[in-house]
């Protein structure tokens, strides 16, 4: 199952939510769509799942228009909300039958899928009584029910508490082996955990399309992370004047020191510290930015 998004543009009155967006998702991939709030992620997801129409451009699944391929798509909205008066089981029967699954098959499959998402004990309870996490899990059950080859999820974990988040993330880990997944989130850590590939969006545009490894290598610059006792903070100002030190960033008790040649100069710096009788808490050589920082830099600066 190959998803192609071609030059999709969507405008709401004066605001352009999605601006000439293109990408291809290959079979079996798991892609995280990342961006700050209001970047147009939800709009794009809604266009992909045929809830909204694009003003320009098209979305193709295996070369066919998405509106003819609904059977192959599983969609999980940001806040899945079902009919309050239905029980969990009835909801799955209702959605399953709408997806064209026969009743006999559903009788076999619904309990299995409810067990998988951990709602088997609540199967006869009304959706009305469900918490956000339970609704999300019921939503996932609904998404998986018709065995789609492509699953789209809009912020599957953003609205959940830590426990619910963990449950849902584990569930996605489990299903990602069988299907192609596209999920949006504004929390990088979640995407990092599940997806290999990231597409970063800002103001409706694609600003980066990369894998986690590439992202880190590209942004890799070895620096020295220093943590020292607060009484010795003056020393940090002194080292900034040393010839081999490029610059120093100081956040609280932690300093990030960029050196000219890390391999060569890190020991000189350490020696300097020892000679100055500095109370060192931590001395570490590592990459300059965490994924979070890389992401922030991209979204804010580009």
Partner 1 sequence: MTPLYILTKKEYVQMFREFKIIWLPLVFMFLGATQPVVTYYLPSILAALGGNQGITIDPSMTQQDGAQVIAATLGSQFDQLGIMIIVISMMGIIQSDKANGMLDFILTRPVKVGAYIGGKLLSNFSFIAISVMLGYFVSYVYVNFLFNNIPFLEMILAIVFYLIWVLFILCFTFMISTIFNGQGVIALISIVCLLIFKIFSGLHPIIDLLNPAGMSQHAMMVLITGSIDSHLYGNMFITLVWITLTVTFSHYWISEKKYHKN
Partner 2 sequence: MKLHYGLNDFKDIDWLAVLQIAAPFIVVGLILILIALFDLYRHRNERSNVLLWTIVILFFNTIGPILYFTIGRKGEKPNEVRN
Q: Which helix (H) or strand (E) holds 201?
A: strand 197-202
Give 21 or 130: the residue with its C-beta nearer to partner 2: 130
Binding pattern to partner 2, positions 126-155, x when CB under 8 A?
--x-xxx--x--------------------
Give 12 or 79: the residue with its C-beta nearer to partner 2: 79
Give 99 or 222: the residue with its C-beta nearer to partner 1: 99
Contact 99, 144 (CB under 8 A): no
Give 131 or 217: the residue with its C-beta nearer to partner 2: 131
- CA dihedral (258, 286, 184, 58) positive or negative: positive
β-pair partners for 32:
183, 198
Question: Which span sits near partner 2 by CB under 8 A: 15-23, 124-132, 170-178, 196-204?
Answer: 124-132
159 binds partner 2 (CB under 8 A): yes
Contact 3, 25 (CB under 8 A): yes
For residue 119, give the 3-state DSSP assignment: coil
Tokens of 89: 């089981």
Contact 136, 142 (CB under 8 A): no
CB of 95 to partner 1, least distance (A): 7
Torsion angle of the four alpha carbons 286, 287, 289, 291, in this order, in degrees rounded to the nearest 10: -110
Within 91-130, which residues bind partner 1 (CB under 8 A)? Answer: 94-95, 97-100, 102-103
Question: How many Å apart are CA 98 and CA 40, to the nearest integer?
Answer: 29
CB of 83 to partner 2, least distance (A): 12
Size of the site for partner 1 (CB under 8 A): 27
Using alpha carbons, select from 52, 85, 50, 88 the residue that is nearest to residue 66.
50
Give 159 or 212: the residue with its C-beta nearer to partner 2: 159
How many CB atoms sit inside 10 A of residue 283's CB? Answer: 16
Within 13-32, which residues bind partner 1 (CB under 8 A)? Answer: 13
Question: Which span sits near partner 2 by CB under 8 A: 2-10, 24-32, 79-87, 192-200?
Answer: 79-87
Question: How many Å apart are CA 43 and CA 154, to the nearest integer?
Answer: 10
Give 132 or 286: the residue with its C-beta nearer to partner 2: 132
Binding site for partner 1 (CB under 8 A): 12-13, 46, 49-53, 70-71, 73, 75, 77, 79-83, 85, 94-95, 97-100, 102-103
Binding site for partner 2 (CB under 8 A): 79, 81, 84, 128, 130-132, 135, 159, 161
């Amino acid at each position: 199952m190959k998803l192609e998004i071609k030059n999709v543009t969507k405008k709401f009155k004066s605001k352009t939510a999605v601006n000439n967006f293109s990408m291809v998702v290959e079979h079996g991939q798991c892609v995280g769509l990342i961006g700050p709030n209001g970047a147009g992620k939800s709009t794009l997801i809604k266009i992909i799942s045929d809830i909204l129409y694009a003003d320009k451009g098209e979305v193709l699944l295996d070369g066919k228009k998405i509106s003819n391929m609904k059977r192959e798509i599983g969609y999980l909205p940001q806040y899945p909300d079902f009919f309050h008066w239905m029980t969990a089981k009835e909801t799955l029967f209702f959605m399953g039958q709408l997806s064209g699954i026969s009743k006999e098959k559903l009788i076999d499959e619904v309990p299995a899928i409810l067990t998988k998402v951990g709602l088997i004990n609540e199967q006869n309870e009304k959706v009305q009584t469900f918490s956000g996490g339970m609704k999300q899990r019921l939503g996932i059950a609904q998404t998986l029910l018709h065995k789609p080859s492509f699953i789209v999820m809009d912020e599957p974990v953003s609205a959940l508490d830590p426990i619910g988040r963990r449950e849902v993330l584990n569930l996605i880990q489990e299903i990602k082996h069988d299907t192609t997944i596209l999920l949006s989130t504004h929390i990088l850590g979640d995407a990092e955990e599940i997806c290999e590939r990231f597409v970063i969006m800002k103001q409706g545009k694609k600003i980066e399309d990369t894998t986690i490894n590439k992202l880190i290598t590209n942004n890799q610059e070895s620096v020295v992370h220093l943590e020292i006792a607060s009484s010795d903070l003056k020393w940090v100002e002194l080292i900034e004047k040393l010839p081999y030190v490029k610059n120093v960033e100081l956040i609280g008790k932690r300093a990030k020191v960029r050196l000219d040649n890390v391999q060569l100069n890190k020991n000189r710096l350490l020696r300097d510290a020892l000679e100055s009788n500095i109370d060192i808490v931590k001395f570490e050589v590592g990459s300059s930015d965490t994924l979070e920082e890389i992401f922030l830099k991209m979204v804010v600066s580009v």
